[in-house]
Amino acid sequence: MEAQASNQFALDLYGRLRRGTGNLILSPLSISSALAMAQAGAAGQTAQEISAVLHIPLNASEAAAGYAELVTSLQRQKSAKVDLSIANAVWGEQHVQFKQPFVDLLEQRYGATATSLDLARDPEGARRQINDWVADHTAGRIKDVVGPGTINRETKLVLTNAIYFKGEWDQCFKKSQTRDALFTAADGSKVTVAMMNQTASFGYTRGYDYAVLELLYEGKGLAMDVFLPDLQNGLPAFESQLTEEGLRRDWMALEVQKVAVQLPRFSVTWGSDLRGDLAALGMRAAFDPSANFSSMSDLPLQISRLAHKALVEVNEQGTEAAAATSGTFLWSSAKPPRVFCADRPFLFIIRDLKRSTILFMGRLSQPSE
């Protein structure tokens, strides 16, 4: 799975989800990995549509090899202060017999298993088992990915995905510098937030009507990029113009500068069944009774639910999500630092720096008081 393809899917899906209101957080990589597993068991139009939406090769082995290479690269970012794990699984009704080549591909390339459950006679028990598995793989932070009543006797197949990330900033904010400040929310209301403050060296660049700040995590292999429109109500327009090419242009333009950063502590949790949004992007057959998952099983299957849930917490120490330079620089004392004051809605991306793969993507529109 190439970073460019993964990021294009991220922007396609975000382009659908951004139309809602409020805060948003998702892990495009986690979603695409689960869908890629489904594509490995699909055939015909079903496989073609999944491949087109994900921008991945139709050949399942080729797509799986790309994913395995990407995840292996990401796992190298793990350290004492950076934890990153991705949880994927396919859950089928117990009478479904998964084909061995499909099972082998999931285990060898995706690090996942295909599990049979009694979805028809014990839907709540199956739901608890799925949610327990996800919680175990996300340090207990992601709970109830599959909500009550969403599995019933008609359910044949459930895809789950969850990702967990916890990282300390390369340059931590001092709690003593955090002050109460006003944040102008998307609806124009004023909300008091705990505003973190730090003046140091950060990656920074400007677009036509927005600024970009890069905050590195310990180890300098991962970063959070904050995209701050100039106007208080400028986020919707900025979101509507997001492109993969534009993101890469901004990332390439980042330069280490002295920046006075004001960034709120914030926490965002979001979850949804993504079937409708994926169907709107062109992935329809997989959710239809005529779906072709013949490479997965000889029994007729369709995806009845695609549940995704993610969270992000940002504080002085770093970031926890279920998603700078240490050199010395000298500045002229006569030259004031750039000011980056995130006191209005902004978009944020957590990515790896080697490939620029988007791990998490979201926005803060309405912080809680």
pLDDT at 80: 61
| CA distances in angstroms from 273 to 13, 190, 203, 276, 308, listed in the order given | 13, 31, 36, 8, 6
Note the pLDDT tens digit of each residue in 192-217.
Answer: 999 999 999 999 999 889 999 999 99
CA atoms within 13 A on the CB side of 316: 12
| CA distances in angstroms from 72 to 1, 22, 212, 218, 259, listed in the order given | 12, 34, 28, 19, 34
Annotated domain spans of the chain = 3-167+268-312, 169-265+320-364
pLDDT along the chain (369 residues), means of 10: 82 91 88 86 92 89 82 70 75 81 84 80 88 84 78 74 80 90 91 91 92 92 93 92 93 93 89 88 89 85 78 78 25 60 94 90 84
N-term to C-term CA, the chain? 40
Provide the whole-model pTM: 0.88
228 neighbors 342 (Cβ within 8 angstroms)? yes
Under CATH, what is the fold of the domain 169-265+320-364?
Answer: Alpha-1-antitrypsin; domain 1 (2.30.39)
Under CATH, what is the fold of the domain 3-167+268-312?
Answer: Antithrombin; Chain I, domain 2 (3.30.497)
